[in-house]
Amino acid sequence: MTKTEAELTGDLIKIKAMEYLNVNQAALLYGISRRTIYRLVNQGYLNVAKFGRRTILRRADLESLFSLPITIEIDQPVQEFEGIDSCYSIKEVQQKFNVSPAALYNLLQQYGIAKYAIGRYTYVAKRDINLLFNANGL
């Protein structure tokens, strides 16, 4: 059963006057889905009160959520590529330090060492690898 535009407008006028809203009313008021409301609740952006199976939100909480400025974080590169001359290939690291591919991969992940893929080969900075293996006593 679909509601006419006049009924929806009347509902919105009533909802705007309410201090506490259920999930359906909040979704209608802000033009977002019920699932989005629940997602915001689960992520901790909205506080709710539960009365049995009924979920109630404060309109003030919704207004403050949507009044926050949106900030976009852009990851900056950890370091610039130093050139192939100052890098080891993965194969060179494995041979020089006698480390298996899996162990090397885990170390690079654990210590956040940047890898550079150039063509078919992957390189890592000699400085980072020398620090890593000297620090670990390998």
pLDDT of residue 77: 54
Determine the pLDDT at residue 71: 65
pLDDT recorded at residue 112: 87
* C-beta separation of 27 from 37 below 8 A: yes
How far is residue 25's CA from residue 105's CA, in Å, rounded to a whole number? 50
Share of the chain above pLDDT 90, in %: 28
Residue 136 has pLDDT above 60, yes or no: no
Longest CA–CA separation in the chain, Å: 76
Beta strands in the chain (DSSP E): 20-22, 48-51, 54-58, 87-89, 115-118, 121-125
Both structure tokens of 35: 């699932």
Which residues lie closer than 8 Å to 64 by C-beta, 6 or more apart? none
Note the pLDDT of residue 137: 52
Q: pLDDT for 20-78, tens place per residue?
A: 999 988 988 888 899 999 999 998 888 899 888 899 999 888 888 877 666 666 655 55
Which pLDDT score, from 0 to 100, does residue 102 have? 92
CA dihedral 110, 88, 95, 108 (to 10 degrees): 10
CB atoms within 10 A of CB 52: 5
pTM of the model: 0.45
Q: Is the pLDDT of residue 1 over 80?
A: no
Q: What is the DSSP string of 29-46?
A: HHT--HHHHHHHHHTTSS
Tokens for 58?
């404060």
DSSP for residue 85: G
